[in-house]
Structure 1
Amino acid sequence: MRSSLGAVCALAVLATALSAGCQSAPGGVDENGRPAGQRTVTVSPSPIRTSGYGAVFLGIDECSSFGRTSFTEVSCTGERAAARVVARHDGTVRDGPRCPATTDFVLHISEQRPASDEDGDGAVPRGYACMRNLQPPHPGDPGGGGGPRTIVGDCVRGLDDGQVRETACDGEGEQRPEYRVTEAVDARSRCPASTTLYVRLGGSSPVGCAGPV
């Protein structure tokens, strides 16, 4: 599921009209400030890696394999390649730049400072990689029901605790959609009169105008 790493606010109390309350981003955030429920696996790079995949661990345009609990950097032309890095930043998601809009998922990379630098690339700093699957499905696409950001075209539904969570617009996800983000504007006053939910998107147009599906 996708999170805008911000807050989602509606017009009235969500419990009564599913159109209000100040709600956290779809799915909320965990104790580390990461979007809850999002596939954000922490990757610990090995200090010794096969050469030829680039000087930076999971640098831009490099690829990873898929694993249940771990991801490995692999050649993009190999059979194991499953996702490509579309952006790479040091630090944490909370403090760093946002991933591109259609990112499918985020990998959090733990810091490594090997005692012996056998591959010549030095220590690997803490960071994160914004990933895009090499093949469909792409949950980061508009209406796809996933990814680290909420963007125009995405759908959400209300939760019992007053929050909202992104879900696939085609209704094939675990939960059926209730609202769709139709526009991104710089202020609530610029949303159309039919807007029943305001979604915080961030960026230069931080307000998402959403209406019933």
Structure 2
Amino acid sequence: MYKARCGWVVCALLVMVAALTGCDRLSGSADSGEGRLGENGESGRVTPTRTAGYGAEFLGVDECSSFGRTSFTEVACSSERAAARVVARHDGKQSEGPPCPATTDFVLHISEQKPSADEDGDGAVPQGYACMRNLQKPHPGDPGGGGGPRTIVGDCVYSAGEGEVRETACDGKGEKSPEYKVTSAVEKRAECPASTALYVRLGGPKPVGCARPL
């Protein structure tokens, strides 16, 4: 933790972890589309310290942050230090709240704080999470980008163990080569095309991802 000349200063452990979805190989069963949960993408945990506010809410929607190897700082979006923009912001735990937009690049988890003074005078910064989008490429949350907190149509995955997959870049430039590509999202497994070799849990109104081998 350190203080900057302006903005919010937050410390983050850059262990970027996001929810990727597990899967089962295609079989004749009529099981649900849920699989085991894998891990991928980017996220960080931050603790706010107020030095000069930019809005009524710490890392509110459309506000920007800079980031380095160990810290994230709220800065003006016009600043040359600005690196990512908040596309959605929710209070509480991510596991209990609304999902981030599909093309979110990474998630910042904000720890609850009760300083002597804050942006609205109530002496508290609630626990929450901010869904972030990089201002410039790369965008790991884009379809096939190989990261982000969600698996979406167009993403590629590789087998990471029995009943588990992880996301990787479709262009083959990631650490692992892609083995399957999610080609569609449906409500039930039975709606996947015959070419489906893998079911991937996506969440949302169409929670089953139909993946074909590459």
TM-score scaled by length of structure 1: 0.84
Other-structure match for 2:46: 43
Larger relative strand fraction: 2
Q: Distance in 1 between matches of 2:83 and 2:140?
A: 14
Q: Deviations over 1:77-115 (max 9, x none)?
A: 00110000000000111100000000000000000011x
**C-alpha distance 186-55 of structure 1, shift in aligned 2 (>3 A):** same
CA distance in 1, matches of 2:78, 2:59: 15
Residues in 2 aligned to 1:62 and 1:94: alpha-carbon distance in whole angstroms = 23
Please tell me whether the aligned partners of residues 41 and 69 of structure 1 are also in contact (alpha carbons under 8 angstroms). Answer: no
What are the equivalent positions in structure 2 for 1:19-38 lying under 5 Å apart? 23-27=35-39, 37-38=40-41
**Percent same amino acid at aligned positions?**
65
In terms of mean alpha carbon deviation, does 155-164 or 116-125 score higher?
Answer: 116-125
Rounded to whole Å, the distance in 1 between the matches of 2:211 and 2:198 is: 5
1:34 matched to which residue of 2?
Answer: none
Q: CA deviation at 1:8?
A: 2.8
Measured in 1, the distance between the counterparts of 2:88 and 2:119 equals 23
1:57 aligned partner: 58
TM-score (norm 2): 0.84
**Structure 1 unmatched runs, 5+:** 13-21, 28-36
Cα deviation, residue 163, structure 1: 1.5
Q: 1:124 to 1:118 in 2, by over 3 A?
A: closer
Q: 1:142 to 1:85 in 2, by over 3 A?
A: same
Q: Which residue does 1:101 correspond to in 2? A: 102
Q: Report the equivalent of 2:175.
A: 174
The Cα shift of 1:118 comes to 5.5
> Structure 1 pair 118/112, CA: closer, same or farther in 2 (3 Å)?
closer
